[in-house]
């Protein structure tokens, strides 16, 4: 009876949200706000933190898992469909070169911005010795685990990353969201095979993936109806599990420096979108905002990918032929926010430890952070592992990683938001260059459901 009542209540709330015509991004913001306030109130009680972790956080995890559940099927269906629709391998190679070239340019720009802002604000020189020792002591264990993972990656040969792009078993590769590059390789390879065989033989296979793609997109619609509730649970858990406020104060300037750099990246994206597509900043931000908020709450480009694709196609007017190719690749190799953060974090740690980095060492950070961002998995916390490699290249002690663990989670949320924003901007530019940028299909999320019933 209780379960039946709960589902009736959930259905009623969803129906009322649709009737209210409140845009999705406002619903998500409301969920975030309520989650933060409720958690702040509950943690004042001795039982509050346990209650949030045991009874609220699981719903946030369920929401993330539901998005991850369809990430691999979405990439397979959309990328195979997108590649096979090109009907011309030369067009595929042309779009691929444009995409990778633009992603590399934006990543190098992001790392450079990170180095500029951290050298202007010098946040590492402001941290007190007492606080530094406290941070090193509190997070030494977490730092060591990331160092161990990075050491195993560094011990591999120079071509190991290239070797691992080609899966030995696609079923095994598709079973882990951390193997997105392998899934993308198989999808592109499969799509090329469809191009090369006679159209009458390819048509049944293409029709299957076209239908699968439509089903996945409808599943995204259903999942997004519960996005405000999922974000509510995630934010409540984040507040309940946060370290002491004193540690956050000590790292406030460092966090502010990262956020300033990320804000500059947003301005950069708006500028290049306007220059190359003539679309206004308001148009771009309104279109991508729900995906940004979801990226902020999940800290995962992979989990946000289904929503990013839906927003870019339906609200920014990017043709599926472009979005199904550009966005899955971007979610895997384009980590502008992560690379900017790595540049700031590396110099911050060096400053905090009293090290002076030469111009050559900082140029090395640009190269290493760019390459590291390409290999960074699109999941929460992956950037921290890649940061160890950046620190090692610059000769900075990896133990300094413990200095930034306390504030890494909220910054991870911010940089993931930038990651998917960069993906969307590049998708629009590629679509414009290919003549595949159209008028948006829908103007508001609620329009999709005005005539539907739960």
Residues 6+ apart with CB under 8 A from 241: 49, 53
Q: What is the pLDDT of the chain when averaged over all its residues?
A: 77
Mean pLDDT across 317-344:
86
Work out the average pLDDT over 140-150. 59
283-292: b or e for each residue (b if 16 or more CB lie within 10 Å)? bbbbbbbbbb
Provide the token pair at 177.
């969201």
Confidence of residue 218 (pLDDT cuts 50, 70, 90): confident
Both tokens assigned to 390: 């950046």
Residue 112 exposed, middle or buried by CB count within 10 Å (0-12, 13-18, 19+)? buried
Q: Where are the domains of the chain?
A: 2-443
Asked if residues 420 and 67 have their Cβ atoms less than 8 Å apart, the reply is no
DSSP H stretches of helix in 175-251: 180-196, 199-224, 227-240, 245-250
pLDDT digits (tens, 9 = 90+) for 7-49: 454 444 455 445 556 766 678 778 878 988 998 899 888 898 8
Torsion sign across C-alpha atoms 47, 53, 59, 63: positive
Residues 62-86 have a mean pLDDT of 75
0.95 surpassed by pTM: no
Q: Is the pLDDT of residue 328 over 70?
A: yes
Query: Above pLDDT 90, what percent of the chain?
Result: 17
The share of the chain scoring above pLDDT 70, in percent, equals 71
Interior/surface letters 79-102, b for 16+ CB within 10 angstroms, e for the rest: bbbbbbbbeeeeebeebeebbbeb
CB 309 within 8 A of CB 71: no
Question: CA 167 to CA 419: how far, in whole Å?
Answer: 25
As a whole number of angstroms, the distance between CA 84 and CA 242 comes to 47
Q: How confident is the model at residue 312 (pLDDT cuts 50, 70, 90)?
A: very high
Look at the domain 2-443 and name its fold: 1.10.3860
pLDDT tens for each residue of 381-399: 456 656 766 776 677 776 6
pLDDT at 230 over 90: no
What pLDDT shows up at residue 387? 74
Cα–Cα distance measured from residue 420 to residue 298, given in angstroms and rounded to the nearest whole number: 12
- What are the residues facing 318 on neighbouring strands? 437
Cβ-Cβ contacts under 8 Å for 75 (sequence gap 6 or more): 180, 183, 184, 187, 305, 328
pLDDT at 116: 93
234 pLDDT band, cuts 50/70/90, is: confident
């Amino acid at each position: 009876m209780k379960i039946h009542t709960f589902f009736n209540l959930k259905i009623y709330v969803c129906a009322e949200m649709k009737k209210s015509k409140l845009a999705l991004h406002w619903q998500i913001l409301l969920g975030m706000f309520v989650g933060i306030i409720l958690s702040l109130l509950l943690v004042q009680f001795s039982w509050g933190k346990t209650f949030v972790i045991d009874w609220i956080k699981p719903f946030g995890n369920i929401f993330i898992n539901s998005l991850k559940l369809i990430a691999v099927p979405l990439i397979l269906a959309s990328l195979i469909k997108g590649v096979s629709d090109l009907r011309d391998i030369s067009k595929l190679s042309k779009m691929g070169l444009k995409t990778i070239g633009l992603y590399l340019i934006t990543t190098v720009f992001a790392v450079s911005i990170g180095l500029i802002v951290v050298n202007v604000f010098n946040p590492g020189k402001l941290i007190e010795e007492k606080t530094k020792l406290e941070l090193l002591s509190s997070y030494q264990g977490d730092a060591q685990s990331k160092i161990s993972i990075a050491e195993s990656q560094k011990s591999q040969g120079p071509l190991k990353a290239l070797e691992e792009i080609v899966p030995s078993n696609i079923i095994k590769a598709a079973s882990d969201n951390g193997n997105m590059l392998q899934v993308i390789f198989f999808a592109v390879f499969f799509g090329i095979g469809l191009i090369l065989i006679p159209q009458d033989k390819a048509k049944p296979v293409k029709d299957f993936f076209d239908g699968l793609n439509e089903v996945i997109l409808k599943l995204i619609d259903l999942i997004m109806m519960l996005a405000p509730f999922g974000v509510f649970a995630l934010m409540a858990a984040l507040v309940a599990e946060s370290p002491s406020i004193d540690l956050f104060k000590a790292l406030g300037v460092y966090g502010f420096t990262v956020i300033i750099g990320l804000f500059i990246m947003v301005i950069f994206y708006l500028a290049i979108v306007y220059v190359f597509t003539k679309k206004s900043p308001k148009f771009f931000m309104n279109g991508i905002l729900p995906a940004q908020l979801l990226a902020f709450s999940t800290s995962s480009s992979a989990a946000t990918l289904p929503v990013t694709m839906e927003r870019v196609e339906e609200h920014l007017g990017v043709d599926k032929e472009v979005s199904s190719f550009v966005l899955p690749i971007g979610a895997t190799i384009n980590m502008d926010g992560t690379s900017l953060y790595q540049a700031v974090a590396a110099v911050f740690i060096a400053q905090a430890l009293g090290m002076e980095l030469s111009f050559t060492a900082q140029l090395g950070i640009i190269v290493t952070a760019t390459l590291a961002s390409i290999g960074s998995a699109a999941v929460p916390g992956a950037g921290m592992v890649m940061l160890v490699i950046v620190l090692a290249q610059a000769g900075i002690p990896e133990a300094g990683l413990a200095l930034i663990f306390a504030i890494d989670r909220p910054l991870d949320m911010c940089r993931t938001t930038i990651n998917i924003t960069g993906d969307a901007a590049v998708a629009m530019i590629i679509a414009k260059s290919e003549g595949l940028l159209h008028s948006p299909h829908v103007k508001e999320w609620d329009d999709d459901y005005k005539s539907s019933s739960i």
